[in-house]
Amino acid sequence: TNALEIENLVKTYGDGFEALKGINLNVAQGDFFALLGPNGAGKSTTLGIVCSLVNKTSGKVRVFGSDIDTHLSDAKLNLGVVPQEFNFNQFEKVFDIVTTQAGYYGIPLKKAAVSAEKYLRQLGLWDKRDSPARMLSGGMKRRLMIARALVHEPKLLILDEPTAGVDIELRRSMWTFLEEMNRRGTTIILTTHYLEEAEALCRNIAIIDHGEILKHTSKRDLLQQL
């Protein structure tokens, strides 16, 4: 089974705008995959549908073989998501934000605490565990989103423009962290409009524009054609 399979995915928004025109995409287990395209191409819409934050109009989506129409909770267990916007409660403490998320997956409190500590340490946030999220810098909030997405140890991590608005130093350390996660077996899919980011990190790339996949290729082949 692939980590992600998308077949003929169509999204027409309520105003009649066709944001996805029947896209197909396969991401193998263990891949580090970039969905690359300009603003407005349909990247967030695609990921939003995979994470069931956005309703699709038609098409099929499977996460590790689980169809999101019929086996959504199985799909969600395998999925960690880092959306673009900070969507945690700014007044909640950092540690609690991560353990609360674990609770949604039915992870017992003790285990949740161990996992939260592990990822907060790895992401350099352990010292901030008792701070309300609103006290964190933008880069720290970004890392908090990643810790929260990983607390249930998903097999697939999806990040929507993870380094948008992030300074170069943090971008590099996030890249290193993601490479290490991937090396240890987590499949990673990210969206980006930076070719350099896709180039630096990813093994396979799909280029999306105006709701259509233009190319689906290995990074090496893509770079040879540029």
**Residues making contact with ligand ADP (CB under 6 A):** 13-15, 17, 19, 37, 39-45, 54-55
Would you say 45 or 66 has its CB closer to ligand ADP? 45
Backbone angles phi, psi at 106, to 5 degrees: 75, 20
Q: Which position's Cβ is nearest ligand ADP? A: 14
Nearest approach, Cβ of 19 to ligand ADP (angstroms)? 4
Would you say 126 or 194 has its CB closer to ligand ADP? 194
Contact 188, 182 (CB under 8 A): yes
Would you say 17 or 91 has its CB closer to ligand ADP? 17
Question: Where are the strands (E) in the chain, listed by range?
Answer: 4-12, 18-27, 32-36, 58-63, 66-67, 79-82, 156-160, 187-192, 204-209, 212-218
Would you say 125 or 202 has its CB closer to ligand ADP? 202
The type of residue at 60 is: K
Nearest approach, Cβ of 16 to ligand ADP (angstroms)? 9
Nearest approach, Cβ of 184 to ligand ADP (angstroms)? 28
- Kindly tell me the burial class for residue 183, based on how many C-beta atoms sit within 10 Å of its own C-beta (0-12, 13-18, 19 or more): exposed
- Kindly tell me the burial class for residue 20, based on how many C-beta atoms sit within 10 Å of its own C-beta (0-12, 13-18, 19 or more): buried
Contact 38, 88 (CB under 8 A): no
Nearest approach, Cβ of 38 to ligand ADP (angstroms)? 7
Would you say 113 or 195 has its CB closer to ligand ADP? 195
Nearest approach, Cβ of 189 to ligand ADP (angstroms)? 13
Q: Could you give the CA distance from residue 104 to residue 89 in angstroms, rounded to a whole number?
A: 15
Backbone angles phi, psi at 35, to 5 degrees: -100, 105
Would you say 15 or 169 has its CB closer to ligand ADP? 15
Q: Give the HSE-up count for residue 68: Cα atoms under 13 Å, Cβ half-sphere.
A: 25
Nearest approach, Cβ of 69 to ligand ADP (angstroms)? 16
